[in-house]
Structure 1
Amino acid sequence: MLTIIFSMLVFALVGAISPGPVNIVATGAGANYGFRGALPHVMGATLSYTLIVFLVGIGLNQLLAQVPEFASILQYLGSAFLLWMAWKIATAKPESLQGETPSLPPKMLEGALCQGLNPKAWLVSMSGVSLFVSTQQPAALFLMIFCAVSFAMCFIGVGSWALLGQVISRYLSNPTRQVMFNRIMAALLATSILTIINV
Protein backbone atom coordinates (compact mmCIF):
# COMPACT_ATOMS: atom_id res chain seq x y z
CA MET A 1 0.00 0.00 0.00
CA LEU A 2 2.87 2.43 0.74
CA THR A 3 4.15 2.01 -2.82
CA ILE A 4 0.74 2.95 -4.23
CA ILE A 5 0.47 5.98 -1.91
CA PHE A 6 3.95 7.14 -2.91
CA SER A 7 2.97 6.79 -6.58
CA MET A 8 -0.21 8.78 -5.88
CA LEU A 9 1.87 11.53 -4.24
CA VAL A 10 4.23 11.82 -7.20
CA PHE A 11 1.40 11.69 -9.76
CA ALA A 12 -0.74 14.27 -7.92
CA LEU A 13 2.17 16.67 -7.34
CA VAL A 14 3.28 16.55 -10.97
CA GLY A 15 -0.31 17.12 -12.11
CA ALA A 16 -0.79 20.01 -9.69
CA ILE A 17 2.53 21.80 -10.12
CA SER A 18 2.77 21.65 -13.92
CA PRO A 19 1.93 24.90 -15.70
CA GLY A 20 -1.74 25.45 -16.45
CA PRO A 21 -4.51 28.04 -16.18
CA VAL A 22 -5.04 27.69 -12.41
CA ASN A 23 -1.32 28.07 -11.68
CA ILE A 24 -0.98 31.08 -13.98
CA VAL A 25 -3.81 32.84 -12.12
CA ALA A 26 -2.16 31.88 -8.80
CA THR A 27 1.16 33.41 -9.90
CA GLY A 28 -0.54 36.63 -10.97
CA ALA A 29 -2.48 36.79 -7.71
CA GLY A 30 0.67 36.15 -5.68
CA ALA A 31 2.57 38.85 -7.56
CA ASN A 32 -0.18 41.44 -7.22
CA TYR A 33 -1.58 40.65 -3.76
CA GLY A 34 1.03 38.50 -2.01
CA PHE A 35 0.66 34.89 -0.91
CA ARG A 36 -2.02 35.78 1.65
CA GLY A 37 -4.06 37.57 -0.99
CA ALA A 38 -3.72 34.58 -3.35
CA LEU A 39 -4.68 32.08 -0.62
CA PRO A 40 -8.45 32.16 -1.31
CA HIS A 41 -7.74 31.26 -4.96
CA VAL A 42 -5.36 28.48 -3.89
CA MET A 43 -7.87 27.06 -1.39
CA GLY A 44 -10.79 27.32 -3.81
CA ALA A 45 -8.82 25.54 -6.53
CA THR A 46 -7.67 22.85 -4.08
CA LEU A 47 -11.15 22.13 -2.73
CA SER A 48 -12.58 22.09 -6.26
CA TYR A 49 -9.93 19.65 -7.51
CA THR A 50 -10.52 17.33 -4.56
CA LEU A 51 -14.25 17.36 -5.35
CA ILE A 52 -13.48 16.58 -9.01
CA VAL A 53 -11.37 13.57 -7.98
CA PHE A 54 -14.17 12.37 -5.71
CA LEU A 55 -16.86 12.78 -8.40
CA VAL A 56 -14.75 11.04 -11.02
CA GLY A 57 -14.05 8.26 -8.54
CA ILE A 58 -17.73 7.63 -7.78
CA GLY A 59 -18.80 7.40 -11.39
CA LEU A 60 -18.60 10.62 -13.34
CA ASN A 61 -15.88 8.96 -15.40
CA GLN A 62 -18.51 6.52 -16.72
CA LEU A 63 -20.94 9.37 -17.45
CA LEU A 64 -18.30 11.24 -19.46
CA ALA A 65 -17.58 8.08 -21.44
CA GLN A 66 -21.28 7.54 -22.18
CA VAL A 67 -22.10 11.19 -22.91
CA PRO A 68 -19.04 12.71 -24.59
CA GLU A 69 -21.02 15.88 -25.39
CA PHE A 70 -20.91 16.72 -21.67
CA ALA A 71 -17.12 16.85 -21.84
CA SER A 72 -17.31 19.26 -24.80
CA ILE A 73 -19.78 21.52 -22.99
CA LEU A 74 -17.50 21.53 -19.94
CA GLN A 75 -14.51 22.33 -22.15
CA TYR A 76 -16.16 25.35 -23.80
CA LEU A 77 -17.68 26.72 -20.58
CA GLY A 78 -14.32 26.35 -18.88
CA SER A 79 -12.50 28.04 -21.73
CA ALA A 80 -14.91 30.99 -21.69
CA PHE A 81 -14.50 31.44 -17.93
CA LEU A 82 -10.70 31.20 -18.11
CA LEU A 83 -10.59 33.72 -20.98
CA TRP A 84 -12.62 36.07 -18.77
CA MET A 85 -10.02 35.56 -16.01
CA ALA A 86 -7.25 36.35 -18.56
CA TRP A 87 -9.04 39.59 -19.46
CA LYS A 88 -9.33 40.48 -15.75
CA ILE A 89 -5.60 39.91 -15.27
CA ALA A 90 -4.65 41.85 -18.42
CA THR A 91 -6.73 44.88 -17.44
CA ALA A 92 -5.77 44.95 -13.73
CA LYS A 93 -4.33 48.32 -12.72
CA PRO A 94 -0.98 48.32 -10.96
CA GLU A 95 -1.25 48.75 -7.19
CA SER A 96 0.48 52.10 -7.05
CA LEU A 97 -1.94 53.58 -9.61
CA GLN A 98 -5.16 52.35 -8.08
CA GLY A 99 -5.71 55.15 -5.59
CA GLU A 100 -8.71 54.71 -3.34
CA THR A 101 -10.35 51.84 -5.23
CA PRO A 102 -7.87 48.96 -5.29
CA SER A 103 -8.84 45.85 -7.22
CA LEU A 104 -9.55 42.73 -5.22
CA PRO A 105 -7.60 39.46 -5.35
CA PRO A 106 -9.35 36.38 -6.77
CA LYS A 107 -11.99 35.01 -4.39
CA MET A 108 -12.29 31.40 -3.25
CA LEU A 109 -15.31 30.89 -5.52
CA GLU A 110 -13.32 32.15 -8.51
CA GLY A 111 -10.51 29.74 -7.67
CA ALA A 112 -13.02 26.89 -7.38
CA LEU A 113 -14.64 27.79 -10.72
CA CYS A 114 -11.25 28.24 -12.36
CA GLN A 115 -10.33 24.69 -11.34
CA GLY A 116 -13.77 23.15 -11.83
CA LEU A 117 -13.99 24.44 -15.39
CA ASN A 118 -10.38 23.56 -16.18
CA PRO A 119 -10.24 20.61 -18.63
CA LYS A 120 -6.74 19.74 -17.38
CA ALA A 121 -8.13 19.06 -13.89
CA TRP A 122 -10.70 16.61 -15.25
CA LEU A 123 -8.20 14.81 -17.47
CA VAL A 124 -5.62 14.45 -14.67
CA SER A 125 -8.25 13.24 -12.19
CA MET A 126 -9.62 10.67 -14.66
CA SER A 127 -6.11 9.35 -15.27
CA GLY A 128 -5.38 9.19 -11.55
CA VAL A 129 -8.63 7.44 -10.67
CA SER A 130 -8.10 4.86 -13.39
CA LEU A 131 -4.54 4.23 -12.19
CA PHE A 132 -4.92 4.29 -8.41
CA VAL A 133 -8.57 3.64 -7.58
CA SER A 134 -10.28 1.51 -10.22
CA THR A 135 -7.61 -1.19 -10.07
CA GLN A 136 -7.53 -1.46 -6.24
CA GLN A 137 -9.71 -3.12 -3.61
CA PRO A 138 -11.49 -1.81 -1.65
CA ALA A 139 -11.95 0.96 -4.21
CA ALA A 140 -13.76 3.25 -1.73
CA LEU A 141 -10.74 3.25 0.62
CA PHE A 142 -8.32 4.01 -2.19
CA LEU A 143 -10.61 6.78 -3.46
CA MET A 144 -10.55 8.44 -0.02
CA ILE A 145 -6.76 8.12 0.14
CA PHE A 146 -6.42 9.53 -3.37
CA CYS A 147 -8.74 12.44 -2.49
CA ALA A 148 -6.61 13.27 0.58
CA VAL A 149 -3.38 13.02 -1.42
CA SER A 150 -4.89 15.15 -4.20
CA PHE A 151 -5.93 17.82 -1.70
CA ALA A 152 -2.45 18.05 -0.17
CA MET A 153 -0.56 18.00 -3.47
CA CYS A 154 -2.90 20.47 -5.15
CA PHE A 155 -2.50 22.90 -2.26
CA ILE A 156 1.29 22.54 -2.46
CA GLY A 157 1.35 22.78 -6.26
CA VAL A 158 -0.93 25.81 -6.70
CA GLY A 159 0.44 27.39 -3.52
CA SER A 160 3.98 27.14 -4.92
CA TRP A 161 2.96 29.21 -7.92
CA ALA A 162 1.33 31.81 -5.67
CA LEU A 163 4.51 31.93 -3.57
CA LEU A 164 6.59 32.34 -6.73
CA GLY A 165 4.37 35.28 -7.63
CA GLN A 166 5.02 36.88 -4.25
CA VAL A 167 8.79 36.34 -4.60
CA ILE A 168 8.90 38.14 -7.94
CA SER A 169 6.56 40.91 -6.74
CA ARG A 170 9.48 43.00 -5.44
CA TYR A 171 10.67 43.26 -9.04
CA LEU A 172 7.20 44.49 -9.98
CA SER A 173 7.14 47.58 -7.77
CA ASN A 174 7.44 49.68 -10.92
CA PRO A 175 3.89 50.18 -12.34
CA THR A 176 5.10 49.69 -15.93
CA ARG A 177 6.67 46.33 -15.07
CA GLN A 178 3.53 45.30 -13.17
CA VAL A 179 1.31 46.09 -16.17
CA MET A 180 3.68 44.17 -18.46
CA PHE A 181 3.73 41.19 -16.07
CA ASN A 182 -0.08 41.11 -15.89
CA ARG A 183 -0.34 41.20 -19.67
CA ILE A 184 2.23 38.42 -20.07
CA MET A 185 0.37 36.28 -17.50
CA ALA A 186 -2.94 36.96 -19.29
CA ALA A 187 -1.38 36.00 -22.64
CA LEU A 188 0.01 32.78 -21.13
CA LEU A 189 -3.40 31.96 -19.67
CA ALA A 190 -5.15 32.59 -23.00
CA THR A 191 -2.52 30.51 -24.83
CA SER A 192 -2.91 27.62 -22.40
CA ILE A 193 -6.66 27.68 -23.02
CA LEU A 194 -6.21 27.65 -26.80
CA THR A 195 -3.94 24.60 -26.55
CA ILE A 196 -6.49 22.78 -24.38
CA ILE A 197 -9.36 23.35 -26.82
CA ASN A 198 -7.16 22.63 -29.85
CA VAL A 199 -7.98 25.84 -31.70
Structure 2
Amino acid sequence: MAKAVKDLDKRPIHTPYITTFQKEKTKNGDIQITSAELKRYYSVIDAEIYFQNYFVEDVSDINWAITQNVMPLFGYNSYIYDEVARGNRLIQGTFNINFTSPNYLFDLLNKIDGSLITDLNSYLTHAPSIKGKEVVGAINTSLFGKREYPDKGPLWNKTFDIDIIFGEKTGINDPVHIIIEGVAIQSCHNVLSGYCAGTPPIIQEQYSFIARDITTIG
Protein backbone atom coordinates (compact mmCIF):
# COMPACT_ATOMS: atom_id res chain seq x y z
CA MET A 1 0.00 0.00 0.00
CA ALA A 2 2.83 2.38 0.87
CA LYS A 3 4.50 1.70 -2.48
CA ALA A 4 1.24 2.32 -4.33
CA VAL A 5 0.78 5.63 -2.55
CA LYS A 6 4.36 6.58 -3.34
CA ASP A 7 3.93 5.69 -7.01
CA LEU A 8 0.76 7.73 -7.26
CA ASP A 9 2.30 10.75 -5.55
CA LYS A 10 4.10 12.16 -8.56
CA ARG A 11 3.76 15.89 -8.09
CA PRO A 12 6.07 17.64 -10.55
CA ILE A 13 8.80 19.77 -9.05
CA HIS A 14 8.18 22.77 -11.28
CA THR A 15 9.29 25.25 -8.64
CA PRO A 16 11.95 27.65 -9.87
CA TYR A 17 14.31 29.15 -7.32
CA ILE A 18 15.97 32.54 -7.38
CA THR A 19 18.44 34.20 -5.07
CA THR A 20 16.98 37.23 -3.37
CA PHE A 21 18.60 39.78 -1.07
CA GLN A 22 17.04 41.17 2.07
CA LYS A 23 17.27 44.95 2.17
CA GLU A 24 16.59 47.35 5.00
CA LYS A 25 16.55 51.09 5.43
CA THR A 26 18.92 52.56 7.97
CA LYS A 27 18.12 55.53 10.18
CA ASN A 28 19.94 57.74 7.71
CA GLY A 29 17.75 56.52 4.85
CA ASP A 30 20.46 54.43 3.26
CA ILE A 31 19.75 50.95 1.89
CA GLN A 32 21.81 48.06 3.17
CA ILE A 33 21.79 44.38 2.24
CA THR A 34 21.42 42.25 5.35
CA SER A 35 21.31 38.71 3.97
CA ALA A 36 20.69 36.53 0.92
CA GLU A 37 18.25 33.67 0.65
CA LEU A 38 16.87 31.23 -1.88
CA LYS A 39 13.29 32.12 -2.78
CA ARG A 40 10.90 29.57 -4.22
CA TYR A 41 8.13 30.30 -6.71
CA TYR A 42 5.21 28.02 -7.55
CA SER A 43 3.12 27.40 -10.64
CA VAL A 44 -0.31 25.89 -11.17
CA ILE A 45 1.18 22.64 -12.49
CA ASP A 46 2.94 22.21 -9.16
CA ALA A 47 -0.31 22.17 -7.17
CA GLU A 48 -2.62 19.36 -6.10
CA ILE A 49 -6.04 19.64 -4.48
CA TYR A 50 -7.40 17.24 -1.89
CA PHE A 51 -10.88 17.10 -0.38
CA GLN A 52 -10.01 15.70 3.02
CA ASN A 53 -7.74 12.75 2.08
CA TYR A 54 -9.03 12.37 -1.48
CA PHE A 55 -7.08 13.71 -4.44
CA VAL A 56 -9.44 15.49 -6.84
CA GLU A 57 -7.72 15.69 -10.20
CA ASP A 58 -10.81 16.98 -12.01
CA VAL A 59 -10.77 20.38 -10.29
CA SER A 60 -9.75 22.78 -13.06
CA ASP A 61 -9.53 25.92 -10.94
CA ILE A 62 -10.27 27.22 -7.47
CA ASN A 63 -10.33 30.69 -5.97
CA TRP A 64 -11.26 32.12 -2.62
CA ALA A 65 -11.27 35.38 -0.71
CA ILE A 66 -11.24 36.27 2.98
CA THR A 67 -13.48 39.08 4.17
CA GLN A 68 -13.06 40.57 7.62
CA ASN A 69 -15.41 43.22 8.92
CA VAL A 70 -13.63 46.36 10.06
CA MET A 71 -15.05 49.65 11.27
CA PRO A 72 -13.18 52.93 11.81
CA LEU A 73 -13.66 54.62 15.18
CA PHE A 74 -13.48 58.40 15.32
CA GLY A 75 -12.83 60.44 18.41
CA TYR A 76 -14.33 63.85 19.11
CA ASN A 77 -13.49 66.35 16.37
CA SER A 78 -11.36 63.78 14.51
CA TYR A 79 -11.13 63.94 10.74
CA ILE A 80 -9.21 60.70 10.50
CA TYR A 81 -10.01 57.56 12.43
CA ASP A 82 -8.25 56.97 15.72
CA GLU A 83 -8.84 53.25 16.12
CA VAL A 84 -10.14 50.33 14.09
CA ALA A 85 -12.67 47.81 15.39
CA ARG A 86 -12.16 44.39 13.84
CA GLY A 87 -14.99 41.90 13.67
CA ASN A 88 -15.77 38.47 12.26
CA ARG A 89 -14.35 37.04 9.07
CA LEU A 90 -15.64 34.71 6.37
CA ILE A 91 -14.06 32.80 3.50
CA GLN A 92 -15.98 32.61 0.23
CA GLY A 93 -14.91 31.02 -3.02
CA THR A 94 -15.65 28.84 -6.02
CA PHE A 95 -14.14 25.82 -7.72
CA ASN A 96 -14.81 24.22 -11.09
CA ILE A 97 -14.92 20.48 -11.69
CA ASN A 98 -14.67 19.01 -15.18
CA PHE A 99 -17.83 17.01 -15.74
CA THR A 100 -17.09 13.29 -15.95
CA SER A 101 -20.20 11.64 -14.50
CA PRO A 102 -23.44 12.56 -12.74
CA ASN A 103 -23.27 12.86 -8.95
CA TYR A 104 -19.49 13.25 -9.01
CA LEU A 105 -19.33 15.58 -6.02
CA PHE A 106 -22.09 13.73 -4.18
CA ASP A 107 -20.17 10.47 -4.45
CA LEU A 108 -17.01 12.21 -3.30
CA LEU A 109 -18.71 13.77 -0.28
CA ASN A 110 -20.14 10.39 0.63
CA LYS A 111 -16.58 9.12 0.94
CA ILE A 112 -15.82 11.90 3.39
CA ASP A 113 -17.02 10.93 6.81
CA GLY A 114 -15.58 13.69 8.94
CA SER A 115 -12.02 12.33 8.93
CA LEU A 116 -9.17 14.77 9.38
CA ILE A 117 -6.98 15.41 6.38
CA THR A 118 -4.05 14.03 8.36
CA ASP A 119 -5.88 10.73 8.94
CA LEU A 120 -4.54 8.18 6.47
CA ASN A 121 -7.07 5.54 7.49
CA SER A 122 -10.02 7.16 5.75
CA TYR A 123 -12.57 4.70 4.47
CA LEU A 124 -15.48 4.60 2.06
CA THR A 125 -19.04 4.92 3.27
CA HIS A 126 -21.53 3.58 0.77
CA ALA A 127 -24.20 6.19 1.31
CA PRO A 128 -26.58 6.86 -1.59
CA SER A 129 -26.00 9.78 -3.92
CA ILE A 130 -28.80 12.26 -4.52
CA LYS A 131 -29.45 15.28 -6.68
CA GLY A 132 -32.07 17.96 -6.63
CA LYS A 133 -35.33 17.02 -8.28
CA GLU A 134 -35.19 20.15 -10.41
CA VAL A 135 -32.26 18.52 -12.25
CA VAL A 136 -32.91 14.79 -12.43
CA GLY A 137 -35.84 14.27 -10.07
CA ALA A 138 -35.79 12.47 -6.75
CA ILE A 139 -34.73 9.16 -8.28
CA ASN A 140 -31.18 7.93 -8.67
CA THR A 141 -30.40 5.15 -11.14
CA SER A 142 -27.30 3.10 -10.39
CA LEU A 143 -26.01 -0.45 -10.74
CA PHE A 144 -28.21 -1.38 -7.80
CA GLY A 145 -31.40 -0.19 -9.47
CA LYS A 146 -33.59 2.82 -8.77
CA ARG A 147 -33.79 4.43 -5.37
CA GLU A 148 -36.20 7.09 -4.22
CA TYR A 149 -35.26 9.77 -1.73
CA PRO A 150 -37.39 12.21 0.24
CA ASP A 151 -37.76 15.76 -1.02
CA LYS A 152 -36.90 17.30 2.33
CA GLY A 153 -33.28 17.50 3.36
CA PRO A 154 -30.08 19.28 2.34
CA LEU A 155 -28.34 18.43 -0.91
CA TRP A 156 -24.83 18.93 0.45
CA ASN A 157 -25.06 17.91 4.08
CA LYS A 158 -21.36 17.62 4.89
CA THR A 159 -18.57 20.05 5.56
CA PHE A 160 -15.02 19.18 4.62
CA ASP A 161 -11.53 20.60 4.35
CA ILE A 162 -9.75 21.44 1.11
CA ASP A 163 -5.99 20.91 1.22
CA ILE A 164 -4.08 22.66 -1.57
CA ILE A 165 -0.51 21.36 -1.77
CA PHE A 166 2.22 23.31 -3.55
CA GLY A 167 5.38 21.45 -4.51
CA GLU A 168 6.83 18.39 -2.87
CA LYS A 169 9.63 17.74 -0.43
CA THR A 170 13.06 18.58 -1.81
CA GLY A 171 16.47 18.96 -0.27
CA ILE A 172 15.76 22.65 0.26
CA ASN A 173 12.07 23.03 1.08
CA ASP A 174 9.02 21.10 2.20
CA PRO A 175 5.59 21.22 0.52
CA VAL A 176 3.37 24.17 1.36
CA HIS A 177 -0.20 23.42 2.44
CA ILE A 178 -3.09 25.88 2.32
CA ILE A 179 -5.97 24.24 4.18
CA ILE A 180 -9.43 25.73 3.74
CA GLU A 181 -11.32 24.52 6.79
CA GLY A 182 -15.01 23.80 7.19
CA VAL A 183 -16.04 24.11 3.55
CA ALA A 184 -19.81 24.15 2.99
CA ILE A 185 -21.24 24.05 -0.55
CA GLN A 186 -23.72 26.84 -1.34
CA SER A 187 -24.64 26.39 -4.99
CA CYS A 188 -23.84 24.56 -8.20
CA HIS A 189 -23.88 25.88 -11.76
CA ASN A 190 -23.46 23.83 -14.91
CA VAL A 191 -21.17 25.56 -17.40
CA LEU A 192 -21.73 24.73 -21.08
CA SER A 193 -19.83 27.13 -23.28
CA GLY A 194 -20.62 27.36 -26.98
CA TYR A 195 -17.33 29.06 -27.80
CA CYS A 196 -14.87 26.79 -29.57
CA ALA A 197 -11.47 27.84 -30.87
CA GLY A 198 -9.25 24.85 -31.42
CA THR A 199 -9.95 22.37 -28.63
CA PRO A 200 -13.68 22.05 -27.82
CA PRO A 201 -14.56 23.50 -24.40
CA ILE A 202 -15.03 21.08 -21.52
CA ILE A 203 -18.36 20.94 -19.72
CA GLN A 204 -17.88 21.99 -16.12
CA GLU A 205 -19.74 22.25 -12.85
CA GLN A 206 -19.02 25.36 -10.79
CA TYR A 207 -19.55 25.21 -7.05
CA SER A 208 -19.61 28.17 -4.71
CA PHE A 209 -18.77 27.68 -1.06
CA ILE A 210 -18.16 29.33 2.27
CA ALA A 211 -15.51 28.21 4.72
CA ARG A 212 -14.75 28.67 8.38
CA ASP A 213 -11.06 29.52 8.32
CA ILE A 214 -7.72 29.01 6.57
CA THR A 215 -4.57 27.38 7.90
CA THR A 216 -1.16 27.36 6.23
CA ILE A 217 1.62 24.83 6.80
CA GLY A 218 5.12 25.12 5.42
TM-score, length basis structure 1: 0.27
Structure number having the greater strand percentage: 2
Whose Rg is larger? 2
RCO (CA 8 Å, sep 6+): is it higher in 1 or 2? 1
TM-score, length basis structure 2: 0.25
